[in-house]
């Protein structure tokens, strides 16, 4: 209920529920019987099985869940009060690996040369800052205004709904992929559309062709944000473009979605094309 109220997509809160079940590993355990000792034991067991980022991320979700359950009077207050005693261990990696500016230019060139659905898919995270699911779930009707606009009608959260301006290196490629209004731009052979593993393989292939370090689609999304801020876009605009909820009230209620983001995308594209230097 808490995750639904936050606006998380069904797939997102199912993922969270699965992580909680794996953590506690006791499906029949009533919530009210959860104790600090149990949480500590389970965290130690998960530490032995997972990488640092994974077990610390899992612990963070567990703590969020326990605090919510405490507010709902489903877990004793003293358990919530002692949550700080269960501390995450190990140093987390801050974000996914990103490309440098020259590497990004080489990557974009390689994707354009590749062309087709693979080239277009490879460009979407770095030029538009889209999540993998936002790329793969796009349909013909989402390519609007002769390919200049791409609509994101849903995403990881309610804040993900937005429109993005499509730069020319990508615009014609998306127009070529556009078919029926309800047809996916990246249709799968056995599924309605390609899955995330397909996109990862495409990005890896383009990285290899470009001779740059292999990054994941999410790392390219981070590259987009970094280049945007380097070119002068504010963190608020970047957050909005990436579909996050951190934005001022004025922009939320009075600025049409995509207005200021368009300026930021042009700035990021200038950096990639060499027309503007990143701020130092």
pLDDT at 11: 62
pLDDT at 248: 40
* Counted domains in the chain: 2
Range of the structural domain that residue 234 is part of: 101-273
Domain-ending residue, one of 35, 57, 85: 85
The answer as to whether 280 is a domain residue is: no
pLDDT at 243: 61
- 126 with 247, same domain? yes
Q: How many Cα atoms within 13 Å fall on the side-chain side of residue 82?
A: 12
pLDDT at 255: 31
Domain holding 245: CATH number?
1.10.443.10
pLDDT at 246: 46
pLDDT at 250: 26
The answer as to whether 139 is a domain residue is: yes
The answer as to whether 181 is a domain residue is: yes
Q: How many Cα atoms within 13 Å fall on the side-chain side of residue 187?
A: 10
What residues in the chain have per-residue pLDDT under 70?
Answer: 1-13, 26-28, 92-95, 155-160, 230-264, 266-267, 275-280
pLDDT at 252: 37
Structural contact between residues 207 and 215, judged by C-beta atoms closer than 8 angstroms: yes
The answer as to whether 94 is a domain residue is: no
- 123 with 233, same domain? yes
- 235 with 107, same domain? yes
- 79 with 119, same domain? no
pLDDT at 26: 59
The answer as to whether 249 is a domain residue is: yes
């Amino acid at each position: 209920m808490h995750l639904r109220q936050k606006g998380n997509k069904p797939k997102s809160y199912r993922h969270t529920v699965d992580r909680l079940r794996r953590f506690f590993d006791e499906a029949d355990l009533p919530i009210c019987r959860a104790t600090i000792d149990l949480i500590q034991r389970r965290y130690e067991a998960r530490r032995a099985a997972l990488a640092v980022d994974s077990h610390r991320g899992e612990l963070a979700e567990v703590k969020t869940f326990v605090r919510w359950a405490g507010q709902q009077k489903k877990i004793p207050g003293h358990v919530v009060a002692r949550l700080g005693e269960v501390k995450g261990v190990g140093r987390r990696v801050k974000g996914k690996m990103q490309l440098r500016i020259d590497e990004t230019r080489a990557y974009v060139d390689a994707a354009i040369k590749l062309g087709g659905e693979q080239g277009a898919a490879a460009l979407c995270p770095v030029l538009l800052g889209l999540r993998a699911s936002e790329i793969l779930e796009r349909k013909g009707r989402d390519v609007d205004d002769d390919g200049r606009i791409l609509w994101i009608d849903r995403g990881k959260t309610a804040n993900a709904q937005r429109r993005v301006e499509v730069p020319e290196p990508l615009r014609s490629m998306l127009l070529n992929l556009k078919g029926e209004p309800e047809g996916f731009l990246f249709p799968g052979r056995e599924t309605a559309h390609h899955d995330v593993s397909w996109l990862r393989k495409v990005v890896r292939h383009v990285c290899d062709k470009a001779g740059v370090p292999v990054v994941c689609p999410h790392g390219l999304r981070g590259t987009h944000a970094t280049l945007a801020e380097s070119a002068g876009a504010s963190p608020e605009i970047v957050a909005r473009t990436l579909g996050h909820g951190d934005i001022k009230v004025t922009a939320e209620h009075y600025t049409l979605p995509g207005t200021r983001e368009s300026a930021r995308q042009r700035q990021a594209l200038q950096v990639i094309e060499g027309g503007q230097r990143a701020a130092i």
